[in-house]
A = this chain, B = another copy of it.
């Protein structure tokens, strides 16, 4: 057990608080807006309502009135401040003088490379991106993205900590736009937008193609294992047989498009038929209940069938 400082208590910081506290860590949360820090406690209470661990988890969390106090005894800092470079730069300049020696600082940023806000810091070797998939307490994955100056020990520490709290780490060798998760999502979204823009298929049917088809395999296998099992001797045979077809498709897809207003209006209209604007919040709760149920079902199936 160690003491984790959560800096920034929006949706992501609140979810991180739950991740660390339910794993047994003491968590100190800080947000420039004290109301946000309090909301984090309310979020954890709501999320664990009716479960036996609620009080024990809550007892491990406290809010700190200042950044100084939040990080004073921390053994790890998870920063989830707003996604704007000047804010991160100013915050990290302060963390640079406040964070105890050797303590690693992970940023939840989904888009800014750590090098863009840590270059001039004395602590820069201890800084890296530890990017969750939203919401972290339901999706057990993080991306570890080192800056050019991140020390291997800092990367190793973050990887072990994430493994220990149940957030499986993937390790990028270097900074790249969008990291891995958003790059993969980008590729799929690009083709999804293209197919709708070209009138090939409806918005609803794209979602169905994934949610009733491709997503069933990707839920537990990933794209490489999926194709590896789709040729009798494995992935090399698959690539030999289907590589030329995929290359042809890739050439057709090498057509980057902006998401223009008329297309976005079409998508928005289709989505509002499925879920009216006033029901979006309820639908998000539905999503989170699905994710929680799926995570439980997956754990159960894993017990029976193995990983």
Given contacts A187-B188, A253-B190, contact A211 B218 (CB under 8 A): yes
By the criterion of a CB under 8 Å from any partner CB, how many residues of chain A are at the interface? 111
**Contact indicator A251/B246 (Cβ below 8 Å):** no
A206 partner residues in chain B, CB cutoff 8 A: 170, 180, 184, 222-224
Select A228's contact among B190, B275, B305, beta carbons within 8 Å: B275
Within 8 A of B (CB), among A274-303: 274-275, 277, 280, 283-284, 286-287, 289-291, 293-295, 297, 300-301
**Contact indicator B305/A301 (Cβ below 8 Å):** no
Bound-state Cα–Cα, A289 to B303, Å:
13
A116 partner residues in chain B, CB cutoff 8 A: none
A55 interfacial by beta-carbon distance below 8 Å: no
A82 interfacial by beta-carbon distance below 8 Å: no
**Contact mask A114-151 → B, CB, 8 Å, 1/0?**
00000000000000000001100011110100000000
The residue in chain B whose Cβ has the minimal distance to the Cβ of A175 is B200
Given contacts A258-B243, A301-B294, contact A170 B208 (CB under 8 A): yes
Bound-state Cα–Cα, A236 to B259, Å:
10
A236 partner residues in chain B, CB cutoff 8 A: 264-265, 267-268
A-B interface, 4 closest residue pairs, ranked by CB to CB distance from nearest? A207-B222, A250-B256, A141-B213, A215-B218
* Extra pairs beyond A170-B201, A177-B245, A216-B291 (5, CB < 8 Å): A139-B213, A210-B221, A229-B284, A235-B271, A243-B259
Sample 17 A-B pairs with CB under 8 A, ordered by A number.
A139-B213, A173-B200, A181-B214, A184-B210, A187-B191, A211-B220, A215-B222, A221-B287, A225-B275, A229-B280, A232-B280, A246-B259, A247-B256, A247-B258, A247-B259, A293-B305, A297-B300
